[in-house]
Structure 1
C-alpha cells in the first residue's frame, strides 16, 4: 500500500469522500462516496490517522484517469456579464445590433444562474463590490426575475426577454442612478422628475438603439406601475399591467431593500420579504407572492444567520422549507472560528435559525469559493 496521510482540510463535512480511506494498519475505514455528517466522528477518525491508497509508480502501470471537466464558475460568469452589461449600457448610443448584444448578456446570466441558482442568489448579498450600483442592481433584479419566471413555467424565449428587460430597466436614468443612491438628503424636484420619467426615457433610448421587442419595451415602461394605480408613469392598475413587468417590479423592490446604500443600512432578507408582501400588499399582485417566497425563502443563500445552538454561519442553499435552508456554520457557539465550514440542516431543532444577522454582526471572514467550491471561484 502506497499511502498518503490526509487531514481535516481534505475532508468536507456533508460532502462525498473522493477516495477509499484506510487506518494506519491498512484496514478500510470508509469507502469512496461515503458522506460524513458528524463532526465528532470526523475528528475521531482524523486523530486515529487517515490514509488514501496511491498507485506505486515503480511496480504498477499508470492508471488512465479520465479528466473531469472543471466546473464553470457561476460567480465568474456573473462578473463577466456585469462588465459587459455596463459597457453596453453606457455606450448604447454607439452600439450596432444592440438587441443581439444585450440578449447575449441575458443568455450568459441565464446560463450562470442555471448552473447553480443558490450561488446566483448569494451573489446579490455577497458580491456587492463588482461594479457600480446602477449596473449591479439591474443584474440582481434580473437574477431574481429569471428564477421566478422559470418557476412560473414561462417559456425560454419569454424568460430571456424578461431578463433583458430587467438588465435595461433603468437605462433612462443610468448616469444619475449612482448619484441618487449616494445622496444623503431628499431628491430635489428636478431629480424626482428624472426618476418619474426614466421608464419612458428608457423606452426611447432602447428604441433609438434599434430594440423593438414589444414585451421588452412594455416591461421597461411599466416596471414602476402599482397594482392599486399609485405607480408611474401612467398610473395603471391590476390587469392593465403586464405580468412580466410585475415580476421585474417585485424583484426590483426586493433587491433594492436587501442591498446597501450610502445613506441607509439594507434590510435583512426576512424583513425585506415581509415588508414587500405584507406591508405593501395593496401595491403588488398577491398572486406572485408564492413564487417569490418559494425561490428566495425567508433566508436566501448569502444570508448571515445565528443558529439556536449559538453557531454563526451563512445560508448556502435552499432547504425543503422556505424558513429552513441549509447553512454552513463558520463560528462555534463561543465565537471561535471553526476549522472548516460545518453543514447544518436548519429544519433540525438544534440547528434552527434564531435570527438573521448583518455581516458586521456576524463578523466572519470567508470567500464564496470557501463555501460553494470551484463553482464560486473568481
Structure 2
C-alpha cells in the first residue's frame, strides 16, 4: 500500500508542469504517477474534489501528523540535494501565493498548505542551512523573485529566531508569517512595468500592504493571531519610525522586529526589476549601520554571527585569479571554505575545486555578481550534491 502524506490540494498541481508526488486514492491505489503533466483544464479540480491523496512510496496506513513531519517533510532533504530542492520549493510557495491572491475556495486549505511548506523549509534548514542560503541567492534567474524573497527572508528569520525562541508553536507562526508577509506587493511587480517612482496612490498602497496582507489571509481562514500580528508589524522599527502604526520597540513584538530585519536582508540581496541584488556582504554592512535605529543591535549581531562576513553562496574573486563560491561559513574558521568554479584563465570548471582561503594564494579579494557564473552552473550545483 502506498504511503499517503495528506489530502491532495489544488496548489499541488500546476497546469503544464510535472506533479511533484504520485497521487493515490484512500485505499492506496495509484491514480497518477509522479512526473505526470496535467494539461486538461478542470482536471486538477476534479482530482481535488474526489479527495485523493499524495504519496511517496510503498508503506502502511495513513501516517499521523507527527509521522508526516518526521518521515515525509524531512526526508527530501536527506534523499536529494537541498540546493536542488529549493527551486521547486520556491515554485510551490509561489503557487500558494497565487491561491491566496485569488477569491477564497473550498478547493484549497491555505493554512494547511502553508504550515506543511513551513515545516518542509525547517527540514531543509536543519539538514543544510548553507545550501538553503546559497540556492536562494544563486538561483534567482528564472524564479518568481517575489516568492524567492519571501523564502529567503523566512529562512534567515527562522535561523535567527530559533536561537532566541524555543517555542515550536511560536516559531511555526513566525515562519508562516515570513512566507506570506508581502503578499500585497505582487501588484507592484506586475503593474508598474519599467516605472521606477511611485505615485501617491502607489505609496499609500505600499504603506498599507501589511494590513492588506492580513485581510487576504483572514479571507482564506487564517485566524492564528501571532501569524497575523507578525505580518502586520514586520515594518515597524525600534525608533518608532516604521509603519503602519509607527510603534516603538516596547510596543512591537520582538519576533516581528526580527522578521523585519530578515525581510530587509532578503529585499536587498534579491534582485528586482529595477536593480540587481546587493552582495550579501555589502547588505550586512548596510544593515549594521542601522543598528538600534531601524533594527535592534542584538538582532544585527545575531545575523552577522549566523551568516558571517561571507554568507554561503557568495561569489568571490580569489587572489589566484579564480572565481569561487562560498560553500559553508565553517564558524570555527577565520575565513570560509570556497570552491573554485572558474579557473585563473576564465574557463568554467567541470568539477568544483576546494580552495583554503586562509592560504594567501587563495585569499578573497572581493565579491562579484552571480551573473558572472552562469557558464559554471553545473559546477555550482555539484558543490552541494
Question: What TM-score comes out, normalization by structure 1 length?
Answer: 0.74
Deviations 1:197-220 (A, max 9, x none): 011111112122221111111100
Partners of 1:362 and 1:322 lie apart in 2 by 26
Deviations 1:341-378 (A, max 9, x none): 211232343322111111345675123432211xxxxx
Partners of 1:281 and 1:187 lie apart in 2 by 28
Map 1:153-192; keep pairs closer than 5 Å. 153-180=165-192, 182-192=193-203
Return 338-347 or 250-259, whichever deviates more.
Answer: 338-347
- Cα 1:170–1:189 shift into 2, 3 Å: same
Deviations 1:278-328 (A, max 9, x none): 146521111111211122222111111012233211111112368621100
Shift of 1:72: 2.5
Over the residues paired in the alignment, what is the CA RMSD in angstroms?
2.3
Shift of 1:160: 1.7
- Cα 1:262–1:83 shift into 2, 3 Å: closer
1:114 corresponds to: 126
Q: Is the 8 A contact 1:298 1:323 kept in 2?
A: no
Which structure has the larger Rg over C-alpha atoms?
1
Shift of 1:94: 2.0
1:369 aligns with 2:366: no
Shift of 1:178: 4.3
Partners of 1:83 and 1:363 lie apart in 2 by 21
Match 1:83 to one of 72, 87, 91: 91
Partners of 2:248 and 2:333 lie apart in 1 by 30
Q: Is the 8 A contact 1:133 1:177 kept in 2?
A: no
Determine which structure has greater relative contact order: mean sequence separation of CA pairs < 8 Å that are 6+ residues apart, divided by chain length. 1
Q: Is the 8 A contact 1:133 1:178 kept in 2?
A: no
Deviations 1:64-98 (A, max 9, x none): xxxxx972232454333323322222223225532
Partners of 2:312 and 2:202 lie apart in 1 by 35
1:250 corresponds to: 261
1:51 corresponds to: none
Q: Is the 8 A contact 1:170 1:202 kept in 2?
A: yes
Q: Secondary structure at the match of 2:309?
A: coil
Aligned pair count reads: 304
Q: Is the 8 A contact 1:77 1:109 kept in 2?
A: no
Deviations 1:177-227 (A, max 9, x none): 4445x5432011111111100111111121222211111111000011111
2:50 corresponds to: none
1:200 corresponds to: 211
Shift of 1:154: 3.2
Partners of 2:166 and 2:230 lie apart in 1 by 15
Q: Is the 8 A contact 1:164 1:216 kept in 2?
A: yes
Partners of 1:350 and 1:178 lie apart in 2 by 46
1:211 corresponds to: 222
Map 1:130-145; keep pairs closer than 5 Å. 131-145=143-157
Q: Is the 8 A contact 1:297 1:323 kept in 2?
A: no
- Cα 1:271–1:97 shift into 2, 3 Å: same
Shift of 1:137: 1.3
Partners of 1:131 and 1:265 lie apart in 2 by 14
- Cα 1:330–1:101 shift into 2, 3 Å: closer
Match 1:73 to one of 75, 81, 90: 81
2:37 corresponds to: none
Return 113-122 or 144-153, whichever deviates more.
Answer: 144-153
Structure 2: gaps (5+ residues): 1-76
Match 1:229 to one of 234, 240, 257: 240
Question: What TM-score comes out, normalization by structure 2 length?
Answer: 0.73
Partners of 1:369 and 1:151 lie apart in 2 by 29
Match 1:347 to one of 349, 358, 381: 358
Match 2:331 to one of 304, 320, 334: 320
